[in-house]
Amino acid sequence: MLLKYLFAKNENIPAGSAAVFFGFSSIIWFMIGTGLGSFNAAKLAFPDFVTGVEMFAFGHMRQVHVLAVIFGWISMAFAMAMMYITPVLGNTRLWSEKLGLWNCFMWNVALSLGLTLMWTGITSGREYSDFPWPLDLAVAAFITIPLAVNVWMTILKRRTQGIYTTNWFFAASTFMLIIVFLVGNLPEYFHLTGLTEAYMTWWFAHNVLGLWITPVAAAIAYYVIPKVTGNPLYSHRIGHLHFWSIVVFYSTPAAHHLMSAPLPEWLKSFASVEGVLILVPAIAFVSNILLTMQGKWNMFVENLEVRFTVVGVLLAIPLNMQGGFQQTRSINWYVHGTAWMVAHAHLALLGFSTFLEAAAVYLGLQTLMKRKLYSLTLGNLHFWLLLIGFSIYWISMTMAGLIQGAGKIYEVPYIDVVIAEHPYMIARWLGGTMVFSSTIIWLFNMWMTARAGTEVPVGRMPHELAYER
Amino acid sequence: MTWVFNEPLSSLSQAETVQRSKELWEAEDLGGITEDNNRLPVPVVALVLLTVATAFLTTFPLWGQRPTAAIYEDYIKAMDTPEIQSIIETQGDAAAMKRIVDMNKSSPMAAQLGRHPVDMDDLRVLKPQIEEIMKHPTVDLKDYTVVYPQVKIANFEGNFRPDGKRVRQQPWWDKGYTIDLFYLTMFFLGVTITVKRLPPYTWQPRHHENDRRKGERRHNP
C-alpha cells in the first residue's frame, strides 16, 4: 500500500495516508524498542542470560534500544501527530501527502540501516548521537528537513488567520530539531575532541529532549484535551508563557550534564539556574491543561485518549521536579552516574512523553481511518500494563540509584553494590516486560481497528462512540 | 500594529487593534478548537516567582563546591608539630586528627572545613602536593581545588593579576548568574510585551451563541 502511494500523484493519495503509515510505524518501532529494552533488562537481572555472542552483548544493544525508542517510536509518533493535527488546526489538507509518505518510507529505511550498523558496532560512540556522520546527514536530509518542510508549508497554506498553540510548537520544534541535529553532531563532522566534544554531545542530547520531545509532546496535549473534551483551552496567555519559556530555558542548561567536568564554573552556574527554571514551562503547561479539564474530569475515567493525556501531563510534575533539582551541584554529586538517572530518563520518555504520544496515535488513527477502536478492553489493558509496568520500572530504578549513590559516596566495594542492586534489576526487567507486552496488545488492537473496527459516521468523533455497540 | 503606552499593564495595543483581535478570537475555528483569554492564576504566578528565587538559591556555588587547597593549609602545618606527632605515636591517627580539628576550631576556614572533613590518611595524600604549591611564594592556595586524591588548579576564570595569571577563585556572585539575570529579564520582558498586545484578560471570548459564561460580550453576532 505504501509503495503504491509513493509513486501516485499527490491529489490521488487519500488525506491522512502519511499520518496512518507514521502511526503504525511508530507502534512497530515501540514494540521493537521496548522488546530490546526488555532483553537488555534481562541481561542486567540475569547476567548469564545470552552470553558468548558479541552482537547480543549489552554494550552493543543498549544504544539500539535508546535510538529505536527516540527516533522510531517517539519521533515517528510526533510525525504522525504533525501529519494529522497540523492540517486540522489550519482547516486545510497536509501540504504534501506524497512528501509525507516518502518521509515515512525513508525514515524507516534510514533508521533500520542506522540501528543495524550500530548493532554491529559501527557507531560514533557518543551517547544519543551514536550514528556515524553519513547517517547523521541522511537523518537530516530524509527525516528532519522533509518533516519540517511539510509542517511549515501546511501552516503557511492554512485557511485560518491565527495559528493555534499546538502549531507554534510543531513549527518551532521541527526548526529547532534541524539546528540541534546539525550543530550537535559537529564534533563528528570536524573531529572535535575533549571538553568541546563532551559539551556538544550533551548540548545535543539535552536539546533533543528539551527542544524536540518535551515541546512536541506538550503540543499534543494542547490539541487532544480541548478537542476531545470540547472545552476551550484555558488560556492563550499561559500558552505564550509556556512556549517562550521552553525556548529560552530549555535551550541553555546542557552544561548541567557535566557538573563534575572541568568546564568553566560560570557555565555550570548559568546552566544550573536555567535547569531549575525548566520548572517555569512545566508549571505553565500543567496548569493550562489541567485547568482546561474543568467540568470534564469524568472523561479522565471514561475516555482513553484523555486518560493517556492527563496521566502524561501529571507525570510532567515529578519529571520536572526531579529534572530541575537533580542537576544542582549538591544533588548531582550524589545521583550522577547512578540508576537514578536511568529512572529519570524513563520518566521523561516512557512516562510523560509516551503517554501523550499514545493518546495522539489512538485519536489520530481512529479519526483518520474513520474506525472506532476495535476493543476498548484491550485499550484499557494497554493503558494499565503500560502505567503499572512503567511505575515498577521507575520506582525500582530510583531506589537502585539512591543505593548506588550511597555506595559511591561511602566508598562501598563495587561488588557489594552490585549484589544490593540485584532485586531492583529483576523488578526493572518485570516492569519493562510489562511495557513490551502492552505494546504487542496495542499493535494488535490498532491493526484490528483498521481491519474490523466499526465505521464512524461522518460528523462524529470516534471517542463519542466508545461505549456504543 | 500601533503601540500605546498609557496603560502598559492593561494593554499595549490601540483600541482598534484590540477590537479586531476580539472579533477574530470569537469568529475563528481552529479545527474545532477554541481558546480562552484567562490570565495566569495568581498561585501559578507565585510559583513561577518562587521558582526563580529557588533557582538561584539552590545553585549558589556554596552548595556543592569543591574545597580549596587553602582550607587544609593549617591542618598540614599542624601535622609536623611535636604535639601531633606524639599523639600519632601514642594514641593513633584518629586521636591526632581530632586534636588537629580542635586546634582549628576558630579558623576563618572553620565552616568550609566542617563541610569537607578529612582523615589523617587523606591529609597524608594531600600534604606533599599542597607543600609543593606552598614553595612558590607568589602562588595563592585558594587558586587550587582538591579533587581528591589530587590538588588541581581551579577552573574558575577570574580577573587577571599584575603578573598575567588569572584569579582562580570562586566569586561570591558567579558571572554565570549575571548571564542568567540577563536571560530572565529578556524573557519576562518579551512574554509581558507579547501578552499585553492581546485584549486585556478581563475580556473573555464567547465561542458560540449559547456560550453565556462571561455575559453578553459577543463581537460577531
Sequential DSSP letters for B136-191: STT--GGGEEEETTEEEE-----PBPTTSPBP-S--SS-HHHHHHHHHHHHHHHHH
Unique residue bearing C-alpha cell 523488578: A427
Reply yes or no on whether the pLDDT at A22 is more than 70.
Answer: yes
Does residue A459 sit within a domain? Answer: no
pLDDT of residue A111 exceeding 50, the answer is yes
pLDDT digits (tens, 9 = 90+) for B86-99: 999 999 999 999 99
ipTM of this predicted structure: 0.90
Q: Which residue shows C-alpha cell 543505593?
A: A403
- The verdict on residue A389 lying in a domain is no
- Using a CB-CB cut-off of 8 Å, the residues of chain A touching B29 are 91, 160
Q: Do A273 and B194 touch (CB under 8 A)?
A: no
Q: Which residue in chain B has the smallest CA separation from A243?
A: B191
Using CB atoms, pick whichever of B59, B157, B187 lies closest to residue A245.
B187
Count of domains for chain A: 1
Whether residue A90 is contained in a domain is answered as: no
Residue B174's pLDDT is what? Answer: 87
Minimal CA–CA distance to A247: which of A323, A171, A327? A171
pLDDT greater than 60 at residue A114: yes
pTM over 0.80: yes
| Contact residues on chain A for B144, CB-CB shorter than 8 A | none
pLDDT of residue B7: 84
A297 lies in some domain: yes
Q: Does B200 touch chain A (CB under 8 A)?
A: no
Which pLDDT value is given to residue B11? 85
Residue A195 lies in a domain: yes
Checking if the pLDDT of B218 tops 50, the result is no
Cα–Cα distance for residue pair A440/A381, rounded to 1 Å = 11
Average pLDDT over residues A5-10: 89
Q: Which helix (H) or strand (E) holds A133?
A: helix A133-139
Is A235 in contact with B37 (Cβ distance < 8 A)?
yes
Lowest mean pLDDT among A343-347, B10-14, B80-84: B10-14
- Tell whether B187 is within 8 A of chain A (Cβ): yes
Please give the Cα distance from A363 to A361 (Å, whole number). Answer: 6
Query: For residues A243 and A237, what is the distance between their CA atoms, to the nearest angstrom?
Result: 10
Give mean pLDDT, residues B143-161: 90
Asked if residue A7 has pLDDT above 80, the reply is: yes
**Would A57 be classed as within a structural domain?**
no
User: Distance between CA A220 and CA A214 in Å, rounded?
Assistant: 10
Burial label, A340 (beta-carbon count in 10 A; 0-12, 13-18, 19+): buried
- Smallest CA–CA distance, residue B82 to chain A, in Å, is 32
Q: What is the CATH number of the domain that holds A227?
A: 1.20.210.10
State the Cα–Cα distance between residues B84 and A292, nearest whole angstrom. 70
Residue A272 forms part of a structural domain = yes
Say which residues have a Cβ less than 8 Å from residue A231's Cβ, sequence separation at least 6.
A225, A292, A293, A294, A295, A296
Q: What is the mean pLDDT of chain B?
A: 89
SS3 call for B52: helix
Give Cβ neighbours of residue A236 (< 8 Å, ≥ 6 apart).
A165, B35, B36, B37, B198
Q: State whether residue B153 sits within 8 Å of chain A by CB.
A: no
Q: What percent of chain A has pLDDT over 70?
A: 99
pLDDT band at A316 (very low <50, low <70, confident <90, very high): very high
User: Domain containing A242: what range?
Assistant: 164-334+341-365
Closest CA to A117 of A134, A99, A100: A134
> What percent of chain B is modeled with pLDDT above 90?
64
Residue A354 within a domain = yes
Chain A residues close to B61, C-beta within 8 Å? 265, 269, 329
Which tens digit of pLDDT belongs to each residue from B159-176?
899 988 899 998 888 889
What is the predicted pLDDT for the residue at B65? 79
d(CA A283, CA A276): 12
Residue tagged 529534572 (cell numbers): A323
Residue tagged 460528523 (cell numbers): A459
Average pLDDT over residues A221-240: 95
Confidence of residue A229 (pLDDT cuts 50, 70, 90): very high
Give the DSSP letter of residue B40: P
Kindly determine whether residue A235 and residue B180, on different chains, have CB atoms separated by under 8 Å. Answer: no
| Residue of B41, B55, B170 with shortest CB distance to A277 | B55
Residues of chain B with Cβ-Cβ distance to A90 below 8 Å are 30-31
Q: Is B44 on the interface with A (CB under 8 A)?
A: yes
